[in-house]
Amino acid sequence: MLAALLVLTLAAQYYVNLRSARTNTRFMIEQRQAILAGVALGVKSLSSGEYLDDMRDEAKQADQAARVKNVIIVDEQGNIKDSLDKNQIPQLNPDRSYRYVKVKDISLPPLNSAVGLPPDNTPLPEGMNVVPENRAGSAGAFYFPVETDKGRPYVIVVLDSANTMSAVFRRQARQALLYTLAVLLVMTCLTAIVVWRFSRPIKSLSTAARRVAGGDFSYRVPGKKRQDEMGELTELFNEMTMKLGRTRELEAQLYNAEKAVVVSRLASAIAHEIRNPLNYINLTLDHLQSSFAPEDPQKQEKFASLTKQLKSEVARINDRITEFLNYSRPPKLHPEPIDLAALARDALRIFEVQTSETGVEATVTTEGSVPQVIADPDSLHSALTNLIINGLQAMDGSGGKVGVSLSSEDEGRRVRIDVTDTGRGIAAEDISKVFEPYYSTKETGTGLGLAIVKKAVEDHQGTITVKSKAGEGTTFTITLPVSGPGSIAST
Instruction: Give pLDDT, residue 324.
Output: 67
Q: In terms of Cα–Cα distance, which of 115, 110, 158 is closest to 130? A: 110
pLDDT of 481 > 90? The answer is yes
- Compute the average pLDDT of residues 294-310: 84
CA distance 289 to 218: 62
Chain-centroid distance, C-alpha 368: 44
First vs last Cα of the chain: how many Å apart? 65
CA distance 341 to 345: 6
Q: In terms of Cα–Cα distance, which of 409, 369, 373, 380 is closest to 483? A: 373
- Compute the average pLDDT of residues 360-384: 91
Q: How confident is the model at residue 162 (pLDDT cuts 50, 70, 90)?
A: low
- Compute the average pLDDT of residues 170-175: 73
Instruction: Give pLDDT, residue 329.
Output: 66
Biggest CA-to-CA distance, the chain: 173
Mutual orientation of helices 340-349 and 377-394 as an angle, nearest 10°? 50
Beta carbons within 8 Å of 58's beta carbon, 6+ residues apart: 41, 44
Looking at per-residue confidence, does 129 or 371 come out higher? 371
Domain spans of the chain, in order of start? 2-170, 229-327, 332-489
- Compute the average pLDDT of residues 318-333: 70
- Of 140-154, 200-214, 437-451, the range with the lowest mean pLDDT is 437-451
Tens digits of residue pLDDT in 262-289:
767 776 776 777 778 888 888 888 888 8
Q: Which amino acid is at 463?
A: T
CA distance 2 to 198: 12
Instruction: Give pLDDT, residue 60.
Output: 61
Q: In terms of Cα–Cα distance, which of 355, 366, 445 is closest to 402? A: 355
Instruction: Give pLDDT, residue 138.
Output: 55
pLDDT of 305 > 80? The answer is yes
Q: How confident is the model at residue 119 (pLDDT cuts 50, 70, 90)?
A: low
- Compute the average pLDDT of residues 41-47: 83
pLDDT of 446 > 80? The answer is no
Task: Compute the mean pLDDT over every residue in the chain, rounded to the nearest whole number.
Answer: 80
pLDDT of 33 > 70? The answer is yes
pTM assigned to the model: 0.45
CA distance 350 to 456: 20
Which listed CATH number (3.40.50.620, 3.30.1490.190, 3.30.565.10, 1.10.3720.10) goes with 332-489? 3.30.565.10
**Three-class DSSP labels, the chain:** CHHHHHHHHHHHHHHHHHHHHHHHHHHHHHHHHHHHHHHHHHHHHHHHCCCHHHHHHHHHHHHHHHCEEEEEEECCCCEEEEECCCCCCCEECCCCCEECCEHHHCCCCCEEECCCCCCCCCCCCCCCCECCHHHHHHCCEEEEECCECCECCEEEEEECHHHCHHHHHHHHHHHHHHHHHHHHHHHHHHHHHHHHHHHHHHHHHHHHHHHHHCCCCCCCCCCCCCCCHHHHHHHHHHHHHHHHHHHHHHHHHHHHHHHHHHHHHHHHHHHHHHHHHHHHHHHHHHHHHHHCCCCCHHHHHHHHHHHHHHHHHHHHHHHHHHHHHHHHCCCCCCCEEECHHHHHHHHHHCCHHHHHHHCEEEEEEEECCCCCEEECHHHHHHHHHHHHHHHHHHCCCCCEEEEEEEEEECCCCEEEEEEEECCCCCCHHHHHHCCCCCCCCCCCCCCCHHHHHHHHHHHCCCEEEEEEECCCEEEEEEEEECCCCHHHHCC
Q: How confident is the model at residue 133 (pLDDT cuts 50, 70, 90)?
A: low
Instruction: Give pLDDT, residue 466.
Output: 94
Q: Which amino acid is at 6?
A: L
Tens digits of residue pLDDT in 310-324:
887 888 787 767 766
